[in-house]
Amino acid sequence: MNKLKIRSIKDFSIFVWLFLATVFAILFSQIYLQSKNEQSSQIKDSLDNIYLKKTLEELTSNLEPRYNTKNYLSKAGDTYESILNSLELNKNEKKIILETIAKEKSLNVLRVNQKFTFKFDNLSNERIMQFKIETDRKNEIVFIKQTNQEGFKSKKIKKNYTKKLVYKETVIETSLYNSAINLGIKPNIIIEFARLYGFQVDFQRDIWKEDSFQIIYEEFRNKNNDVVDTGEIIFANLNLQSSDLQLYKYEYEKGKTDYFDENGKSIRKTLMKTPINGARLSSSYGKRKHPILGYTKMHTGTDFAAPMGTPIMASGDGKVTKAGWCGGGGNCVKIKHNSTYQTVYAHMSKFGRGIKKGSRVKQGQIIGYVGSTGLSTGPHLHYEVIENGKKINSQKLKLPSGKILKGDDRKKFEVSKIKIDVLKSNLITKLN
Ligand SMILES: [Zn+2]
């Protein structure tokens, strides 16, 4: 009886071992397959995105520094107080600055087109470290915060800057940003370049290795020939897979400039295709399995994956109709552009400065920053375009371009274009 019992346990244990071995074998092969899949999809993702990622990381690190500078050009109807109000300073800081300005006789009258420059330390309670007010084209006053006491010390400065037009060109080897930095182009010119092309170029998919660009922009140098400031882009060309996208700066009305292609068509569109610099389109408009809810649902917007904190722009001029919590959409902003179009931006980590219900925004203005609030699996922007009350696919949107120069305007533009082309050949000759 005893022998029999031992035997049956032995038989049984063989069965258990066999069973366990089979389970382990299946488990291991599953884990191996899965990790292999994950690996290959990761490699694919990073290949898709290698030029862009570098651009983006460096762009954002340059956009969110501790210190930043803000320029302001006074308009009709401005007061010193209204200008300071737009900076959102605390009461005490505002009061000190107004008193400082009041002490300067040459600043008694505020004129139109006076240039203001404010330098901020964003980690400090009293944020302004230094500010500058232009009294006329050649003179300015700099106010520097005193470290040991309240208030600012002023210094009159005669500006002795020379404006120089610079021409740069290069083949894009690693990323647009790196190529531009290697040429000595300042980050704010690169950001402006990306913004101008943002109407027509998807920086994720359209830029390839061996594409190239050319650019002419203004640089201001001091007596020691150091670059102290950059001005505007005069001309740019982005050569993508052998086709040219040119843009020319042109003053189409006194005091109003814009960028036009070689046919006199404004490059500006009512709405931008991608309201974020260089992000990766991670989920398109259409039916898809919802990453959190798990079931198939219509995705009524476009998702752009981007690092936390990447600035999000208003894709067109308009009025903010919502800046708050949208449930699944987390922190969201809704903008009404005209009677036809509205846009929605969801999952933001925070809102842009001064963005609230009722405020007016300009195309390209920062309205918020990428986050992962609401129903979201990771940092991305969910972007929706609403046309006559119906959500539509923003990436298929064919928007009419802005201005098209005609008649006399076109003739004047042609003259200005020829001048820029001549300037370009001169600058190229100097290079060689
Ligand atoms: Zn989405």
Do the domain assignments include residue 194? yes
**Token representation of residue 59:** 């762009």
Q: Of 141, 158, 175, which residue is a domain's last?
A: 158
Residue 38 has pLDDT above 90, yes or no: no
Do the domain assignments include residue 205? yes
Residue 53 has pLDDT above 50, yes or no: no
Calculate how far, in angstroms, residue 285's C-alpha sits from the geometric centre of ligand 1: 8
Calculate how far, in angstroms, residue 10's C-alpha sits from the geometric centre of ligand 1: 59
Calculate how far, in angstroms, residue 271's C-alpha sits from the geometric centre of ligand 1: 19
pLDDT tens digits, one per residue of 396-432: 777 766 788 999 999 999 999 999 999 999 999 988 7
Calculate how far, in angstroms, residue 170's C-alpha sits from the geometric centre of ligand 1: 36
Residue 143, domain extent = 67-158
Calculate how far, in angstroms, residue 283's C-alpha sits from the geometric centre of ligand 1: 7
Do the domain assignments include residue 285? yes
Calculate how far, in angstroms, residue 153's C-alpha sits from the geometric centre of ligand 1: 51
pLDDT of residue 355: 94
Calculate how far, in angstroms, residue 431's C-alpha sits from the geometric centre of ligand 1: 47
Does residue 78 sit in the same domain as residue 142?
yes
Calculate how far, in angstroms, residue 377's C-alpha sits from the geometric centre of ligand 1: 10
Alpha-carbon distance of 55 to 215, in angstroms, equals 18
Residue 49 has pLDDT above 50, yes or no: no
Does residue 171 sit in the same domain as residue 154?
no
Calculate how far, in angstroms, residue 288's C-alpha sits from the geometric centre of ligand 1: 10
Calculate how far, in angstroms, residue 334's C-alpha sits from the geometric centre of ligand 1: 15
Calculate how far, in angstroms, residue 193's C-alpha sits from the geometric centre of ligand 1: 27
Does residue 304 sit in the same domain as residue 248?
no
Read off the CATH number of the domain in which 378 is found. Answer: 2.70.70.10
Any idea which of 15-24, 132-141, 302-311, 380-389 has the lowest mean pLDDT? 15-24
Share of the chain above pLDDT 70, in %: 82
Calculate how far, in angstroms, residue 6's C-alpha sits from the geometric centre of ligand 1: 63
Calculate how far, in angstroms, residue 369's C-alpha sits from the geometric centre of ligand 1: 15
pLDDT of residue 400: 65
Do the domain assignments include residue 60? no
Do the domain assignments include residue 47? no
Q: Name the pLDDT band for 65 (thresholds 50, 70, 90).
A: low
Identify which has the larger pLDDT, 99 or 50.
Answer: 99
Calculate how far, in angstroms, residue 399's C-alpha sits from the geometric centre of ligand 1: 22
Calculate how far, in angstroms, residue 341's C-alpha sits from the geometric centre of ligand 1: 19
What is the domain count for the chain?
3
Does residue 300 sit in the same domain as residue 387?
yes
pLDDT of residue 427: 95
- Cβ–Cβ under 8 Å, residues 170 and 209: no
Calculate how far, in angstroms, residue 324's C-alpha sits from the geometric centre of ligand 1: 17
Identify which has the larger pLDDT, 346 or 65.
Answer: 346
Q: Of 96, 126, 158, which residue is a domain's last?
A: 158
Calculate how far, in angstroms, residue 342's C-alpha sits from the geometric centre of ligand 1: 16
Do the domain assignments include residue 32? no
Calculate how far, in angstroms, residue 327's C-alpha sits from the geometric centre of ligand 1: 13
Does residue 258 sit in the same domain as residue 347?
no
Do the domain assignments include residue 26? no
Calculate how far, in angstroms, residue 394's C-alpha sits from the geometric centre of ligand 1: 12
Does residue 183 sit in the same domain as residue 241?
yes
Q: Name the pLDDT band for 61 (thresholds 50, 70, 90).
A: very low
Calculate how far, in angstroms, residue 350's C-alpha sits from the geometric centre of ligand 1: 17
Does residue 249 sit in the same domain as residue 340?
no
Average pLDDT over residues 387-397: 86
Read off the CATH number of the domain in which 185 is found. Answer: 3.10.450.350
pLDDT tens digits, one per residue of 322-356: 999 999 999 999 999 888 889 999 999 999 988 99
Calculate how far, in angstroms, residue 54's C-alpha sits from the geometric centre of ligand 1: 24
Does residue 186 sit in the same domain as residue 231?
yes
Residue 163 has pLDDT above 80, yes or no: yes
Does residue 142 sit in the same domain as residue 216?
no
Q: Of 143, 158, 173, which residue is a domain's last?
A: 158
Residue 36 has pLDDT above 60, yes or no: no
Strand arrangement, sheet containing 311-313: 311-313, 366-369, 350-351
Average pLDDT over residues 240-247: 89
Q: Name the pLDDT band for 385 (thresholds 50, 70, 90).
A: very high
Does residue 261 sit in the same domain as residue 407?
yes
Does residue 380 sit in the same domain as residue 285?
yes
Share of the chain above pLDDT 90, in %: 35
Alpha-carbon distance of 85 to 79, in angstroms, equals 10
Do the domain assignments include residue 377? yes
Does residue 93 sit in the same domain as residue 113?
yes
Calculate how far, in angstroms, residue 196's C-alpha sits from the geometric centre of ligand 1: 25
Calculate how far, in angstroms, residue 39's C-alpha sits from the geometric centre of ligand 1: 25
